[in-house]
A and B are shown apart, each in its own frame.
Chain A
Amino acid sequence: AQTVTQSQPEMSVQEAETVTLSCTYDTSESDYYLFWYKQPPSRQMILVIRQEAYKQQNATENRFSVNFQKAAKSFSLKISDSQLGDAAMYFCAYRSAISAGNQFYFGTGTSLTVIP
C-alpha cells in the first residue's frame, strides 16, 4: 500500500510570511494524483491544491503552490503571505490514477499556527 509521510507535526509562521509544509510518499505507480487538504477547527476538509503526477509543472492556486519532485517522491506546499485564516491542520494525500478503488491515502497532518 501507498504511504504518505508528513514529518512536521506542527509548524508556525508569522502573518504575511511564507511557510513550507513537507510531504513525501512511497509508491511504485507512475500515474497518480497528489493533494493538499486543509482542515480548520470546523473539521470540514477543504481542498487546497492538487497535482497530477504526469504534469511536470508545479500547481499553483493564488497564495498556495507546490514543489513536486516526482523522482524524490516529494510534494511540499508553500503558503505565501500567510493569513490568520490559514491556521489549520494540513493533510497531504495520494490517490492512484490506475488502480481499482482509487482510495485516498492521507498523511498524519501538520498543524499550522499563524502568529499575528
Chain B
Amino acid sequence: GAVVSQHPSWVICKSGTSVKIECRSLDFQATTMFWYRQFPKQSLMLMATSNEGSKATYEQGVEKDKFLINHASLTLSTLTVTSAHPEDSSFYICSARRVPTSYEQYFGPGTRLTVT
C-alpha cells in the first residue's frame, strides 16, 4: 500500500511561536503533496499544493508567509505555521500523489494543532 505519515500527531504551542509539521510518504515517492485544514465537523479545505523542488501554490486567502511549505524531497513535505495564534488551531492533513497524472491521493493521519 501507499502510506503517508505525519509528525507530530498532536502539538500544543504558545501564541507567537512557530511549529513545524512533517508529512512523509513512507513507501513511495510523492511528486505532489497537498496540505489541508479541517475545522471541527467541517470539510477539508485545501491550503496549498507543493511539488518537489519548486515553490508551493497557495489557495486564495491562505497567507504564504504564515504557512510556509517546503517540499524538499520526494518523500518529505513540511508545513510551518509561523507566529501561531489561537485562530490557527485546527486539524492539518497532508496527502501525497505518486505521479502527476495519478487520480489517487494518499492521506496522512493528520496533526491537531492547539495554540494557547
How many B residues are at the interface, by size bracket?
A: 20 to 34
Option from B38, B49, B93 in Cβ contact (under 8 Å) with A101? B49
Instruction: Knowing A95-B103, A97-B103 are in contact, say whether A44-B110 is a contact too (CB < 8 A).
Output: yes
B107 and A103 within 8 A (CB): no
Q: Cβ of B93: which chain A residues have Cβ within 8 Å of it? A: 43, 45
Q: Are B103 and A33 in contact (CB under 8 A)?
A: yes
**Once the chains are docked, how many angstroms separate the CA of A42 from the CA of B103?**
24
Instruction: Determine the distance from Cα of A37 to Cα of B104 in the docked complex, in whole angstroms.
Output: 12
Q: How large is the interface on A (under 10, 10 to 19, 20 to 34, 35 or more residues)?
A: 20 to 34
Among B41, B100, B103, the residue within 8 A (CB) of A50 is B103
**A104 interface neighbour in B38, B91, B105, B109, Cβ under 8 Å:** B105
B107: which A residues are within 8 A, CB to CB? Answer: 37, 44-45
B54 close to chain A: CB less than 8 A: no
User: Interface 1/0s, chain A 24-58, versus B by CB < 8 A?
Assistant: 00000000010001000011110100101000000
B55 to chain A, nearest CB (A): 14
Cα separation A42 to B109 with both chains bound (whole Å): 8
Provide 5 A-B residue pairs closer than 8 Å at the C-beta atoms, listed in order of the A residue.
Answer: A44-B109, A89-B41, A102-B103, A104-B34, A107-B43
Residues of B near any A CB (own CB < 8 A)? 34, 38, 41-44, 46, 49, 57, 91, 93, 95, 97, 100, 103-105, 107, 109-110
Given contacts A50-B103, A102-B100, 17 further A-B contacts (CB under 8 A): A33-B103, A43-B91, A43-B93, A44-B109, A44-B110, A50-B104, A52-B103, A91-B43, A95-B103, A101-B49, A101-B57, A102-B103, A104-B105, A106-B44, A107-B43, A109-B41, A109-B42
